[in-house]
Chain A
């Protein structure tokens, strides 16, 4: 099936980010970097694009064409997007950048970077449905702050990506519109809920993408799709324009094909926003200062870094392949100089029930606004209660309805103390236990998910099994901490194996450390190529 896909026109001129020493294409192979950055642009697609544009090795239009062509060819197989921007408009924006460069005008640091946006993040110029039928065709009158910041820096929005309805799911199958496939094996799920954003980066349909992470919705799909996913500290990135699922847990997160890209993307969207009272006023450090090229690294660049492997995450219930990939990653960290030890978080298993109570409770409230009165799909009814009931009955999918029901129940008089309040108490315990573990360790590591990507439909009718898959990630949201997921190995499955992600958890607002450690890990991990076969086939390259 895939052999019918023709190589994109500009692909031969544009690199595919793979963490392999023998890259088939190398954009700067014959060019000397002109910028005096402390790290080589070949570690970052974003920096490579910037170099190429400023060195006039590549125009933004050419670059955009290469991505759009690949998108056009791969999209029918993967279905990442709910809405793709009008190619003419995208090319027009690219042309504007080229014109500016020609006139030697300043262009933003993200000029020409094609970014995909999860569809629960509002974009003024295109539909934003949250993956829900109730918002079908809805076009918000404003950009989410994160989107606005990206646009202000020159990024070009290439489209809106598929997701589990309002972020509720772990496979992207709960989208009201389509099922997204995993680029590594089209019969498998990309993870979720940001499955479209993860798969689109994995398939190189865009440079980077934004997702959202309430209980793992950036990190688990990053792991399933073999890309880097970064969930920032709660409050680091404005939530303004992110359709709320569980407000106290939701964060906008970043996907990229390298740690550097996710770090640059996070830097671009971070910082206080007067439109989000929960956004932090803390200074945002320049994560890019942490990047060094592989060749300039010392032999043990992470000497003395205290790494805690969370014991509960490699216990029973975790696939043996995942377990050995994580053990391999831990060994790699040790070789880099880290001091590894196991830490135990006794409250770890409490995270899952606490998460599902809190997230459902908040969602039951947050989704009340979808009543068909002001926007979105409205049932035709002459009577108010019938209008509400029918609009919501038709508008919401079953997963969303289930969570609204659970949350409504948990908040009801007589049950509040037993459920919601108790879950909040558990949350406090979890927060404290993470704090204690991070006082003794610089970072904590764990798998990002108990397994690699599973088959489409496999867990669709078994929500509890799907929920259990969130065990690795939900605790981090409850504690509000930042976490980075990056590919660290493979398990058997698909044509060439399925990627496994390593989760690195840091102290609150210490994304800088995560990016630094992740970058060094990535630069020094040899023998793996995290470009999915679909793309390398398309590109005519072999890893």
Chain B
């Protein structure tokens, strides 16, 4: 495609931030979702702040001040869908591919190219809408959101404006016990479909240097910035929450629950480091008892659940401090950036009035019409969702801590359920999975799908111990064999002549 060379452009550094958020090194450095033990937002390892910790006394003061204010938090989440092809063309998308290797005239916005909707996007949107207890719009449409940016090839983003595909839902979640526990229900304002933009790459990003040079040979001498359009046109669902959250923990748990839901539904890998799940948070505070809202501040660059938590708590303190010092006029409508290194938010850009995106209905795409039959068939195909799973486990008599652990990861939950359906004792199965098996997975850096032990054999092992055929100690030995090599409990018992003398 020699005629459509990617040009290099120099961009005012100020303008670089929006996309840098998701592509830069911050996203990799500060992700904290590596351990299998730390899979709920609040169980993530809290990173020790890298810069000076606020003085103890100061912190105490701030905490005291903060108590006089109530924070209002709403979250906009972008979920990148794991469809085989992009939203409006047949290009595949694989995170981390060489730049501009997964592009075509359509996602490059060449003259004359037209979008055609990938029907999987609708299916996934309906799934999420149902899972979030939303009302679906049987007649929705796409709109164009217009602005200029080099990562936006058409000069507009295909999105949904006034008629989103789903509205008015909620999520249920349970806060972890170490944060006080408790059930929460947070409202979902809307879910809508849209396309992702490309990425700006910055010179000095050596990973891509080879490809970039070949794409920009003409102007390479000032190639400070280049565009990678691999991600352009990848389908997204934007989920807008009601401003129902009050603390950083609640917000982080909300995001974690969304991640669980999209993973349970199989519509996204929900991976925050790769930008498959991106949260922008709006925070305002008001004196306790006041009914009108304060000035809202948006925070971006939140690459993990713990950064959501910490960024919000920082922002609440910042705003509360300004309030208490009579400087509430210093709280302005702006977008602030969470700086992971400094553990603080900084001004990225002030919002001077509302941006005018000049939305209008996308004339290249027909209306999206859902039939009741279609919605019903998707509804019937939904898996058991995290909330239903938690309630079921709770009813089985498991502790909330166990419930949260088991239901957190869909694969773990499936494993647990399969173990139970092979007749295992509930509490024992839970203990084995959360104990020895989880420890093994952590050591070996495996997921539960990678281990050789089948749920049936785990059930058999539990039964053998329960019945006294083998001792608990021998059970543990057998377990490590089974985890690493597979095989059957009976076979190992016979092979090693391990039957407990009675």
Contact = CB atoms under 8 A, between A and B. Distances in A.
Interface of A: 121-122, 128, 130, 135, 138-142, 144, 239-244, 246-248, 274-278, 361-362, 364-365, 367-375, 378, 381-385, 387-388, 408, 411-413, 416, 420
Given A365-B155, A369-B155, A138 B114 contact: no
Interface string B320-339: 00000000000000000000
Interface stretch (B73-81, B363-371, B443-451, B479-487): B363-371
Given A138-B3, A274-B116, A277-B364, A128 B111 contact: yes
19 contacts: A121-B112, A140-B111, A140-B112, A240-B112, A243-B111, A244-B112, A247-B363, A247-B364, A248-B363, A274-B116, A277-B115, A277-B116, A277-B364, A362-B360, A368-B154, A374-B6, A374-B108, A381-B10, A413-B354
A369 B154 contact: yes
B398 to A, nearest CB: 49
A259 B354 CA distance: 54
B116 A276 contact: yes
A511 B454 CA distance: 66
Contacts of A388: 148
B278 interface: no
B150 A240 contact: no
A275 B146 contact: no
Contacts of B105: 140-142
B256 interface: no
Contact of B150 (A248, A276, A373, A411): A373
Contacts of A367: 155
Interface in B116-145: 116-117, 144
B156 A365 contact: yes
A381 B225 CA distance: 13
Contacts of A369: 109, 111, 153-155
Contacts of A144: 112
A349 B28 CA distance: 61
B142 to A, nearest CB: 10
Nearest to B357: A413
Nearest to A142: B105
Nearest to B150: A373
B335 to A, nearest CB: 18
A252 to B, nearest CB: 11
B3 A242 contact: no
B151 to A, nearest CB: 9
A130 B6 CA distance: 21
A135 B110 CA distance: 11
B458 to A, nearest CB: 49
A240 B113 contact: yes
Given A130-B111, A276-B114, A412 B356 contact: yes
A239 B7 CA distance: 28
Contacts of A382: 10, 222
B500 to A, nearest CB: 67
Interface string B256-279: 000000000000000000000000
Interface string B343-374: 00000000000101011100111100000000
A384 B150 contact: yes
Nearest to B353: A413
Interface string B378-392: 000000000000000
Contact of A408 (B1, B354, B358): B358
B15 to A, nearest CB: 6
A383 B11 CA distance: 5
Nearest to B149: A384
B227 interface: yes
B325 to A, nearest CB: 36
B52 interface: no
Contacts of B1: 141
